[in-house]
Structure 1
Amino acid sequence: MKVLNPQQIRQVDADTIQHKPISSINLMEQAAEACSQWLIGHFPRHPDLIFNIVCGCGNNGGDGLAIARQLRLQGFSVRVFLLAAERYAPDCQTNLRRLQQLDVPMTLLQHRDDLNRLQDCDGIVIDALFGSGLNHTLQGLAVELINTVNQLKLLTVSIDLPSGLSCEQENNITADTVIRADYTLCLEIPKLPLLLPENQEYSGEMVLLPIGLLPDAVARQSSELFYTDLHDIQQIYRPRRRFSHKGSFGHALIIAGSYGKIGAAVLAVQGCLRAGAGLVSVESPKCGYPILQSAVPEAMAIINHGETVLSGCSSHYRTYRAVGIGSGIGQDPLTKYYLLQLLHQMDKPMVLDADALNLLSQDPAAQQLIPPHSILTPHPKEWQRWIGEWQHDHHKLQLSRTFAQQQKLYVVLKGAYTAIFCPDGSIHFNSSGNPGMASGGSGDVLTGVLTALLAQGYSPKQSAILGVYLHGYAGDLAAQALSQEGMIAGDLIRYLPLALRELSRTHSVSHKKG
């Protein structure tokens, strides 16, 4: 799914209106209907429930006025607060006239004193002030209105984008100029600000709602930004053939563990096994042998020369279809020597995580040894050691994209909406996963999953996109069954087979429909 800028979105709207065909006011009606149905389904009808809809003068305000009318016709209590303007967008004006035919209380916000009418609000606030079309810095009454809404501390739902956030300007916001939403109902096309960590306090939970845009109109827009959803994954995932055997799915090697951190090796190996590698071997220091043999009997153990840390290096690594290294290996100088010797031997893409990244972070010469198209899986702090501190999230995207292109590496920057930076310049934000995965060992499981997919013959790009989605999908299934707070990394492993089963089922259904 493409992430588009405001100009592209306007073009998609125009193409939809021209070629579907549909009038602009009816397209707005469809968007409002999608929002209204979500609101009705999400907030149970109650005598005390009131929707307080705050509207601007543009198309976002038009959406809000249409939502107000639709909710009122469904029997809900609605109040509208309309920001005064010299002129209103044509569709906004049309929806204002339609709403005025109903018994909906409306307050025109012209002066600062008018904002006092908001003080007695109760219920739910719907923010339909500016949306994604904002292209200037707010000031005056608009800023005071946003501040007033935030001070109400009511549950707030923004339409398309929290008012005050901009798709076009970088890092230009302050705390009192952006609505703090609990939910953002994003109209069909994901908006980049909603995918960036620095905006999480404003955007709340993003909900994508289809509004009937023409697929061909979206397809005609070029973009290097993507939001990976189930449809995208179905184009990558390959179901198993009946006459396959273990050799069909590759031999993966996980290099992991040190004294006190053999658990990380166990998690990575189990993740690799559960993600479908045909054969899995694991190399760890001697201290890990009895643990690995009992915890993961399905894997073949290779005992390294080191007693408590990896050391030395043999010459058997090229025989594996995929190699993943880093989970729990520590940062001993002997281990760094081992890692450098390994990199000298490797001639195919591999997965590097955790301490493998830490050992290489301050050694640019060693970084050049990483095989092209390998997958790096840092969390933000680890990544800062590689590319330096960034000024804001847009800057981080620029630095990371440049690194991936110049070094010909894939960077999986972990977090909410994990971002995958590719050598071709594209950035893929992941849609699966939840905060319950913020637990020690989750990254080790991901290392195993990515290594397994490489071993099965998926390309590095496919492995990164599919692996991150699958890892997050398992986390979502685990959270549904166990709660986010109660999840541990091992639960991701237990739910990986269920995630794959669901992926296989939806793949079969979608291909039959196709």
Structure 2
Amino acid sequence: MPSQSDPTVITPGLLRDWAMPVPEGGKSARGTVLVVGGSRFVPGAVLLAGLAALRAGAGVLQLASAESSAAALSIEVPEALVVGLPETGDGAVAGDIGDRLTDLAGAADAIAIGPGLTDIEQTRALLRRTLAVAGDRTALVLDAYALGALSHEPELLADRKLPAVLTPNMTEAEHLLGHEPGDDVAAAAVELADRYGCVVALRSHVAAPDGRIWRDESGDTGLATSGSGDVLAGILAGLLSRGAEPAQAACWAAYAHAASGQRLVPRFGRLGFLARELLDEVPRVLAQI
């Protein structure tokens, strides 16, 4: 079993031996992903996460975002059902999710919540209500402001015991831990996984609550670009919707995200490629594994 002191390196060979489920049947067999996030001024985060979920193999995509951006999202992503959510005066998604989102959250196979949200108190209410109506087997990806909300109410996940993956950056990890993570990223990931009882994907490391830990070594500095984390959250949601268990989905997603960036280096160099350009590379990377 991989341990904190000796993380297992994520390689194509490891992933081939940990093969993704192969759903049989129509699009419903590959699962429904619901992405909840966005705001009047950050609608692109939901778009990136949603498209990444489809590129990772999800069968059905649903986007729930601020009402003011819903029409534009529905045109930009014609593959998705798009639901507009109530907004605050400054364009943040309000915490009152409404009946439509309640129905979608109750039926989704995977929910990614957080990309593009901008108000921590509204996000707390949104997260609380979404988790309350999620199905018993619904897989979760918590990203960005949803992680800040969780740091204020860690019992939200403990009360539900849903399969979940947290995707913090180092600042968000500090809020979740209550102290600076330090230089030992592996140790911080393990502590987070133990504290919150779920899988954690933290800066190329994946930690499970049972103490297992993995490290991806194929990433590069170019992945540190605006929107890249939204793409990772979407890949995770897509793999979870296909039936992967959380640690498996996180390892596959970490590699697919990093290797997609590597595929862009010959065209753009190590710096300068865009998060949206990762999307087309994701299915190619997954197919090559």
Compute the TM-score of the two structures, normalised by the length of structure 2: 0.88
Residues 249/236 of structure 1: CA separation in 2 closer, same or farther (3 Å cut) = same
Aligned length: 280
Residue 146 of structure 2 aligns to which amino acid in structure 1? A
Deviations 1:315-356 (A, max 9, x none): 321211111110001125333212211122233330000111
Q: State whether structure 2 residue 208 is matched by structure 1 residue 389.
A: no
User: Match for residue 282 of structure 2?
Assistant: 496
User: Match for residue 167 of structure 2?
Assistant: 377
Distance 1:320 1:329 in 2: 20
Higher normalized contact order (CA 8 Å, seq sep 6+, divided by chain length): 2
Residues 375/400 of structure 1: CA separation in 2 closer, same or farther (3 Å cut) = same
Residue 300 of structure 1 aligns to which amino acid in structure 2? L
Match of 1:318 among 91, 101, 106: 106
Distance 2:50 2:280 in 1: 13
Would you say the 8 A contact 2:3–2:212 is kept in 1? no
**Which residues in structure 2 correspond to 1:11-50 (within 5 Å)?**
none
Q: State whether structure 2 residue 142 is matched by structure 1 residue 352.
A: yes
Q: State whether structure 2 residue 13 is matched by structure 1 residue 231.
A: yes
The alpha-carbon deviation at position 360 of structure 1 amounts to 2.4
After superposing the two structures, state which structure 1 stretch, 365-374 or 272-281, moved more: 365-374
SS at structure 1 position matched to 2:152: coil
Residue 283 of structure 1 aligns to which amino acid in structure 2? A
User: Match for residue 477 of structure 1?
Assistant: 263
Match of 1:277 among 43, 49, 58: 58
The alpha-carbon deviation at position 366 of structure 1 amounts to 4.1
User: Match for residue 408 of structure 1?
Assistant: 197
**Which residues in structure 2 correspond to 1:139-178 (within 5 Å)?**
none
The alpha-carbon deviation at position 302 of structure 1 amounts to 1.5
The alpha-carbon deviation at position 305 of structure 1 amounts to 2.9
User: Match for residue 424 of structure 1?
Assistant: 210
Residues 489/369 of structure 1: CA separation in 2 closer, same or farther (3 Å cut) = farther
The alpha-carbon deviation at position 238 of structure 1 amounts to 3.6
Residue 133 of structure 2 aligns to which amino acid in structure 1? Q
Distance 1:366 1:244 in 2: 34
Residues 268/440 of structure 1: CA separation in 2 closer, same or farther (3 Å cut) = same
Distance 2:182 2:237 in 1: 31
Would you say the 8 A contact 1:378–1:413 is kept in 2? yes
Deviations 1:124-155 (A, max 9, x none): xxxxxxxxxxxxxxxxxxxxxxxxxxxxxxxx
Residue 93 of structure 2 aligns to which amino acid in structure 1? L
Residues 387/370 of structure 1: CA separation in 2 closer, same or farther (3 Å cut) = farther
After superposing the two structures, state which structure 1 stretch, 481-490 or 330-339, moved more: 330-339
Query: % of aligned pairs identical?
Result: 28
Deviations 1:76-109 (A, max 9, x none): xxxxxxxxxxxxxxxxxxxxxxxxxxxxxxxxxx
Distance 1:471 1:359 in 2: 25
Would you say the 8 A contact 1:387–1:400 is kept in 2? no
Deviations 1:257-315 (A, max 9, x none): 00100011111111111111000001011012122112111111112233633221233
Residues 492/343 of structure 1: CA separation in 2 closer, same or farther (3 Å cut) = same
Distance 2:189 2:284 in 1: 33
Deviations 1:448-503 (A, max 9, x none): 10000110011111111111111111111112332122211011112112212322
Would you say the 8 A contact 1:331–1:358 is kept in 2? no
Residues 261/231 of structure 1: CA separation in 2 closer, same or farther (3 Å cut) = same
Residues 397/473 of structure 1: CA separation in 2 closer, same or farther (3 Å cut) = closer
Deviations 1:397-416 (A, max 9, x none): 445424413432111102xx
Distance 1:233 1:244 in 2: 24
Deviations 1:353-375 (A, max 9, x none): 01111222233444544644310
Would you say the 8 A contact 1:372–1:408 is kept in 2? no
Q: State whether structure 2 residue 211 is matched by structure 1 residue 464.
A: no
Residues 354/391 of structure 1: CA separation in 2 closer, same or farther (3 Å cut) = closer
Match of 1:443 among 229, 252, 259: 229
User: Match for residue 268 of structure 1?
Assistant: 49
Distance 2:223 2:186 in 1: 23
Deviations 1:172-206 (A, max 9, x none): xxxxxxxxxxxxxxxxxxxx7xxxxxxxxxxxxxx
Residues 389/333 of structure 1: CA separation in 2 closer, same or farther (3 Å cut) = closer
Distance 2:257 2:160 in 1: 24
Would you say the 8 A contact 1:352–1:375 is kept in 2? yes
Would you say the 8 A contact 1:237–1:466 is kept in 2? no
Compute the TM-score of the two structures, normalised by the length of structure 1: 0.51
| Higher Cα Rg, which structure | 1
Q: Mind listing any 5+ residue stretches in structure 2 that lack a counterpart?
A: none
